Structure formats: structure tokens, C-alpha cells
Amino acid sequence: MERDNLLRYRPVIDDWDTFLAAAQTPLPHVVRANTLKIAPSSLQHRLIASGVGVASYDWTEELFEITEPPGRRIEHWLGLYYAQEAVQILPVLALDPQPEERILDLCAAPGGKATFIAARMQNRGTLVANEPKGRRQMSLLANINRLGVLNAMITAYQGESFPMGTKFDRILVDAPCSAEGTLRKVPSLQHGASMGSIARLARLQKRLIVRAFDLLAPEGNLVYSTCTFAPEENEAVVAHLLQERAARVLPTRIPVETSTGLREWLDETFPAEIQRCVRVYPHHLDSGGGFVALIARA
């Protein structure tokens, strides 16, 4: 199952055999309780009463692993939960959105993170959910409506040219990426992504992170995240921002097992603070993989 594009990560993943075993295992069915409509405990009781097996997580009350596909249930259509891999809520936990703030989700579709941000804001404040692609805007709008989000507006700008007229307290850039962290559900990525797609996406990601930083309020926080393993799309993008702007990387406090950001990759050495970023691998929390960085003004 291994090919060079995945094998190149072997030197940076401590427990390679465990990683490979997890990567080849089907994903569990996981849902996030939508606290805009139901308390997590009430959702748990409702599912159990209807005969669904439910297992909770010890690091968050909002996630549950269930024993059947979540999209088939009435609770999905009522917006009581959102089907979401465990790793996908980590960027929002790092962002730590609060009620009454002004927040931008620069790459928002299909809306899993945007609707979680709105829930953490308790529908209070302003959430701008930006998505440039028309077809993806439809899924974003559908999820915002289904989950009862009332404080969001959808915009359709190219993220790298988002208008500069407004400053935001918090910004999430969950960037388009080569998606290697989704290899448990996308068989072709079991072999890693192509170097061409990684290079192309890294160029876009660098433009996105710089524009997002320029939109940040003086005391604001920016979270940059991906669902890929490629350092070219992760550490190298954050390092590019540090070179282009007066930015600093903050410690990323996430309540699950993670690995630190890489200090070196191939022939490139990154600033020491890049180690404050976090890498998440499938065997860390029985989910997909990803990368999260918390950034502020220097």
C-alpha cells in the first residue's frame, strides 16, 4: 500500500506501523451535537432511546461515536447534529470563538467548522462565512440553515483578495489542501498526494494566510489549519507568513494527543516557534489527520 509520496513522512511520524494500521482502518461514525438546538446530553439520551449505540469522548462533550451512518437519521435532518470527524473540530477549539465577536471563516464550505463556530458564539456576534465556489456555497447555506445558525452571512470572495474594510477578532483559514489526512475515506490518498498538487496548493495557501493576517484586529487570533501531512502546505506556509509579516506562533492548546510542528523538512529549516504548531495523525484519536497553528500579531 505504500508509495514514495506517503513514505516520505516516515522519518517524521514516530510510530509508523501504528500510523499505517490506523490509516487502513475504516473511520468510525462521529457526530457533533449542535448546541444551538440541543444539549449534548439530551442528544445522547435521544439516540440511545432509539436503539443507537453511543460512545462519548473524554476530551469534549459535544462529540459522540455512533453505531450507524449518521446521515440516515431524522436527527441529522432536524439539525440536531453534524456528521464530523473528531479531528475536524480541533481548529475551532484552537480558535476559541466567543459570543459577540466578529469572526471570519475564510474557506467555509461545506460548513462543519462554521456552524461549530456559530454554536460556540451562541448565535451572538457576527460570523462571516466566505466561500468563492458557487456549488460549494449551496452546501454551506444548506448546513447553516439546517443547524439554525442565525448570526452568519455568506460571502463569495476569492479568499486571497477578501476586502480589507473590516478587521476581525478571530479568523479561521481551513485552507484548501491536498487532503492526505483524509486517506481513511479516500483510497487514492493511501499513497499520498501528488507533488504537483502539493506545490500548487501551497502557493494558494501562502496567499490566503497573508491576506487573513492582514484582516486581523490588533489583538486578534488567526488559526491556520489543513487536513494534510505535507510540510510544504503546513509548516512552510506558516514560516512564509512569519517572513512576510510581524506575526508570532502561539502555543496551540488542543486536548488530544498531538505531535509538534516540524523544525526541519528536506533542505529547509523553519523558525523555532513553528514547533508550537501541532500535527495530528489518524492513530492519535481514531480520526483523520491534520495540522493546526495559532497565530497572533508580534
The residues assigned a catalytic role are 227
Say how far apart CA 25 and CA 215 lie, in whole Å: 40
Rg over alpha carbons for the chain, rounded to the nearest Å, is 19
Supply 200's cell numbers.
500548487
Say how far apart CA 154 and CA 159 lie, in whole Å: 13
Listed in order, strand segments (DSSP E) in 117-215 are 126-130, 152-155, 168-174
DSSP-based three-state secondary structure for 24: coil
Say how far apart CA 91 and CA 104 lie, in whole Å: 13
- Beta-sheet pairing, 168-174 with 54-56: unpaired
| Concatenated DSSP letters of 240-255 | HHHHHSSEEEEP---S
DSSP-based three-state secondary structure for 50: coil
